[in-house]
Amino acid sequence: MSERVFKPVAKKQKQEVSEVPEEVQTSPNQEIVDDIDSILDQIDEVLETNADEFVKSYVQKGGQ
């Protein structure tokens, strides 16, 4: 494999598929699930207080 033209600038954990151990490539990765749980914890804080109203009012004039 040749040298990459780009290099990930801030290498995050588990981001390279090639670095994921073979055994977790075919089964759910517990670490990924844990990560998602911590992110889901933050979604309530990020979502608009009235998600229904936000979704309803997000109307765009058409574009290209």
- Give the binding site for another protein (CB under 8 A): 1-6, 8-10, 12, 14-15, 17-18, 20, 25-29, 32, 35-37, 39-40, 42-43, 46-48, 51-52, 54-64
CB atoms < 10 A from the CB of 35, how many?
13
Distant-in-sequence, close-in-space partners of 60: CB < 8 Å, separation ≥ 6: none
State in angstroms the smallest separation of the CB of 50 from another protein: 9
State in angstroms the smallest separation of the CB of 45 from another protein: 9
Secondary structure class of 13 (helix, strand, coil): coil
Secondary structure class of 11 (helix, strand, coil): coil
State in angstroms the smallest separation of the CB of 55 from another protein: 4
